[in-house]
Amino acid sequence: MAKRVIATKSPNLDLPVNIKRLGEFVRYKRTSLDLTIENAASLCGVSKQALNNIELGVETVKLVTLFKVINELGISLWFEKPNASSKVETDDEWL
């Protein structure tokens, strides 16, 4: 009997992105595609443990592995140029 995949809910995408939230989105996307973790790992060309680590938000995941997974699952990432009001202020004075 095949394993049943239970879809997870999408994380709140209005919050700032961090590794944990990205992992939650990877799990959401995988389960919405009705893929077991084993099938998704095979499709992405990564180990089951690597995919599990991504979904759990483990911070030591290799960036190349993360990009393999998000590309194969059809997840798009993009960057926005910060506007003038969101610039980080720095103190250029050296001690």
Query: Tens digits of per-residue pLDDT, 5-34?
Result: 988 998 888 888 899 999 999 999 999 999
Does the pTM exceed 0.75? yes
Inter-residue contact 57 to 22 (CB < 8 Å): yes
List Cβ neighbours of 87 (8 Å cut-off, separation of 6 or more): none
Task: Please state the domain extents for the chain.
Answer: 19-79
Query: Tens digits of per-residue pLDDT, 38-89?
Result: 999 999 999 999 999 999 999 999 999 999 999 999 999 887 787 766 655 5
DSSP 17: P
Instruction: Give the right CATH number for 19-79 from 3.30.70.890, 3.30.70.260, 1.10.260.40, 3.40.50.80.
Output: 1.10.260.40
Fill in the amino acid letter for 14. Answer: D
Question: What b/e sequence results for 21-54 when a residue is b if at least 16 CB atoms lie within 10 Å of its CB, and e otherwise?
Answer: ebbbbbbbbbbeeebebebbbeebebeeebbebb
